[in-house]
Amino acid sequence: MSVTYKGVHQLKIGEIDLQILNDGHWRLDGGAMFGVVPRVLWEKRLPPDDRNRVPMALRCLLIRVGGKTIVVDTGVGDKFGPKEAEIYAVERAEGLIGQLAGYGVAPEAVDVVVNTHLHFDHAGGNTTRRLGTLAPTFPNAEYWIQRLEWEDATHPNERTRTSYLAENLDPISQTGQLRLFDGSTEIVPGVTWRLAPGHTRSHTCVVIESGEQSAIFTVDVCPFVAQLERIAWVPAVDVEPLVSMETKRRLVADILAHDRLVIFDHDPNVVAARLVGTPDKWALKPEILTIVGAASTGDLRADSRSIVGG
Contact set with Zn ion (CB under 5 A): 121, 220
- Shortest separation between residue 209's beta carbon and Zn ion, angstroms: 24
- Shortest separation between residue 266's beta carbon and Zn ion, angstroms: 6
Beta-ladder partners of 180: 145
Nearer to Zn ion, 26 or 150 (CB): 26
Phi-psi region of 89 (alpha: psi -120 to 50; beta: other; left: phi over 0): left
The Cα 3–Cα 5 span in angstroms is: 6
Nearer to Zn ion, 220 or 299 (CB): 220
Q: Are 228 and 222 within 8 A, CB to CB? A: yes
Helices (H), the chain: 30-34, 39-45, 82-87, 95-102, 120-123, 147-154, 170-174, 225-229, 241-258
Task: Specify burial of residue 221 (Cβ count, 10 A radius: 0-12, 13-18, 19+).
Answer: buried
Nearer to Zn ion, 16 or 33 (CB): 33
Nearer to Zn ion, 220 or 287 (CB): 220
Distinct helix (H) and strand (E) counts, the chain? 9, 19
- Shortest separation between residue 220's beta carbon and Zn ion, angstroms: 5
- Shortest separation between residue 163's beta carbon and Zn ion, angstroms: 9
Q: Are 120 and 41 within 8 A, CB to CB? A: no
- Shortest separation between residue 125's beta carbon and Zn ion, angstroms: 13
Nearer to Zn ion, 45 or 199 (CB): 199
